[in-house]
Amino acid sequence: MVIKNSEKALGVQLDELPHYDTINNFLMELPLEELEKIWTYMIKELFTKRCFDNYRINGKYRGIIFDGTGLFKFDEKRCEHCLRREYTDEKTGKTKTIYMQHVLEAKLVVGDMVLSIGTEFIENESEDVKKQDCELKAFYRLAEKIKQDISLTSYLNSGRQYICSRACF
């Protein structure tokens, strides 16, 4: 069944599927931008074929969830783009800096499923920035990217209250 579905999706005749290691090796060498193009193409095709129309909210809106999350936390700096937070021990007065990598995800709500439609890293432009990057700034970058990549004319944004209260698309 998997081979038949793959043949139909790819439009080619297959005798067998590549081993998962082969696929993994290929994907590891593929530039991230190409993976994003493939993902965007797949989502746009599903929109074009009106696959999501039955899942509109009130028959009009598409539900999009934006949520930021931390990926990694380090005791030492790993790159110049890491976010940083300083803590001061009240007893000793020593200051400790931790370094973090965060990401903002946009998910399309489709019935009981959610599909990723965009990712934006929350990261500093350089080591010596006065004001660090944040979810709100990443939201505006991600919203613009989604607006350009996937034309969404009506949506219902669900996320942090300060993001929801602002005009975004």
Reduced 3-state DSSP string for 90-118 = CCCCCEEEEEEEEEEEEEEEECCEEEEEE
Confidence of residue 5 (pLDDT cuts 50, 70, 90): confident
Q: Are residues 3 and 43 in the same domain?
A: yes
**pLDDT attached to residue 60:** 81
pTM of the model: 0.71
Q: Are residues 60 and 43 in the same domain?
A: no
Q: Which of 33, 5, 39, 168 is nearest to 115 (CA)?
A: 39
Q: Which of 119, 121, 125 is nearest to 107 (CA)?
A: 119
User: In this predicted model, which residue has the larger pLDDT, 122 or 156?
Assistant: 122
**pLDDT attached to residue 163:** 44
Rounded CA-CA distance 151/73 in Å is: 35
Q: Are residues 20 and 60 in the same domain?
A: no
**pLDDT attached to residue 33:** 86
Q: Are residues 87 and 40 in the same domain?
A: no
29-34 average pLDDT score: 90
Q: Are residues 46 and 68 in the same domain?
A: no
> Domain range for residue 110?
55-169
Q: Is the pLDDT of residue 69 over 60?
A: yes
Summarize pLDDT for 33-55 with one digit per residue, the tens: 898 888 888 888 888 888 888 98
Q: Are residues 21 and 64 in the same domain?
A: no
At residue 66, the 3 state secondary structure works out as: strand
Indicate the number of domains in the chain: 2
Q: Are residues 61 and 144 in the same domain?
A: yes
Rounded CA-CA distance 147/149 in Å is: 6
Q: Are residues 2 and 79 in the same domain?
A: no
Q: Are residues 96 and 23 in the same domain?
A: no
Q: Are residues 88 and 156 in the same domain?
A: yes
Q: DSSP letter string over 115-140?
A: EEEEEEEE--SSTT-SS---HHHHHH
Q: Are residues 69 and 47 in the same domain?
A: no
Q: Are residues 67 and 114 in the same domain?
A: yes
**pLDDT attached to residue 157:** 56
Instruction: Tell me the HSE value of 36 on the side-chain side, using a 13 A CA sphere.
Output: 11
